[in-house]
Amino acid sequence: MTKFFAVHVHLNHHQETPSFTPDSRQAWVRLGLALLIASIGGAGMWSVVVVLPAVQAEYAASRAAVSLAYTLTMFGFGLGGVIIGRITDRFGIVTAMALSIACTGMSYVLVGLSTTLWQFQAVYFLIGLGASATFAPLMAEASHWFDRYRGLAVTIVAAGNYVAGTVWPPIVNYGTQSVGWRTTHIAIGLFCAASMTLLLAVLRARMNGVAAQSHARAAPPRLDLGISTNALTVLLCIAGVACCVAMAMPQVHIVAYCGDLGYGVAAGAEMLSLMMGFGIVSRIGSGFLADRIGGLRTLLVGSLAQGFALSFYLFFDGLSSLYVISAMFGLFQGGIVPSYAIIIRETMPAQEAATRIGIVVFATVVGMSFGGWISGVIFDATGSYAAAFINGVAWNGLNLAIVLTLLMLARRQRAAMA
């Protein structure tokens, strides 16, 4: 019993095997497996967006009422990031992912069996909870495997969310049109559970049963902003809410928007897929950038670019224009959320990484949830999305102001230490 307890404590403290070194070939293999897991598990973030029109028609509900399912998905995703982030810091990513897989598979089957709108909405909270492990906790875990290429590693894992956004919307739309949204959900649940379990088994073998390495956890933060960790967390949370209210408008409503304009929901699903595809390029590119200029400056670039792209939706609504703008929006905003994870790893203790990243990602999810819901409310009130796009641009301005403030604090701290 004493021997078992010693081994258990050993695992909980994330001690790495001596053969592992940061940025090694083994680290890149792990990263590839993490990307695959994130790409499959990220289905829960996008399936509800595609089926909004079909569910709205079936239940004769308002746009805002159906959009609440997305809000609950994001809330489950954010809350799960905090809870599963804490589990990751304590027990390791394998345990966290196992819980995620069980929740995802079960929830998709339950959605397919739902008979009322409130059941559909409630179970999508569980889908978001299941998907949460594939983002913040997985980013934090990957950050421990790298030193020189930490920014790139974090954004590659985060790109899994956009790979999911590129691949899953057309699949969900095809399934919905062919066999209905209920059967489609059940099939997704079974596929995710089986494929993610297999990948997790391979990842566990590659990790030799353990999690992050002590090397990264012992390294001090690279950047001092001259404020407490809790104060910085609060500021990053506010910034995360602001940027994601803006981000939610096109991501959540582009399918419905195209339907309203007469272009059809299939065109909207294609635009969402295009947006996510270019988002992959943006996310990985932001990782290269962060390894050279740091997370804060990378966040500034992303915030400026997102506001610029979002404003174009106010002036152009032609079919070709919307394809171009959606691609541009994806290209410009993809690196924003991973930048928060990089900033946390640069400024906060490594042993708190998964929990702190989970908290800030929860804030971004609150922004996405509120942004998706309030855009539906604004549409119901005005009959168009113009005011909703303006609302997004305003929130993006708040994000930009906070990022500039943090950069000024960093500059002041460097001057004081010079």
- Check: CB of residue 310 under 8 Å from CB of residue 329: yes
Q: How far apart are CA 25 and CA 153, in angstroms?
A: 13
**Counting Cβ atoms within 10 Å, is residue 253 exposed (0-12), middle (13-18) or buried (19+)?**
buried
Which of 180, 179, 171, 55 is CA-nearest to residue 123? 55
Structural domain includes residue 5: no
Structural domain includes residue 104: yes
Structural domain includes residue 12: no
- Check: CB of residue 127 under 8 Å from CB of residue 79: no
387: left (phi over 0), alpha (psi -120 to 50) or beta: alpha
Structural domain includes residue 161: yes
Domain count, the chain: 1
Structural domain includes residue 401: yes
Q: How far apart are CA 181 and CA 57, in angstroms?
A: 12
Structural domain includes residue 15: no
* Domain coverage including residue 224: 21-417
**pLDDT (tens place) for every residue of the chain, 418 residues total:** 444 334 443 444 444 444 567 778 888 989 999 999 999 998 888 888 888 888 888 887 777 788 788 778 878 888 888 888 888 888 888 888 999 999 999 999 999 898 888 889 889 999 999 998 888 888 888 888 888 888 889 889 888 887 888 788 889 989 999 999 899 999 999 999 999 999 999 888 877 644 444 444 445 666 778 888 899 999 999 999 999 999 988 888 888 888 888 888 888 888 887 887 888 888 888 888 988 888 899 999 999 999 999 999 988 888 988 999 999 998 888 889 889 988 998 888 877 878 888 899 889 888 887 888 888 888 888 888 889 899 999 999 999 999 999 999 988 877 777 6
Which CATH number characterizes residue 407's domain?
1.20.1250.20
Q: How far apart are CA 312 and CA 250, in angstroms?
A: 11
Structural domain includes residue 1: no
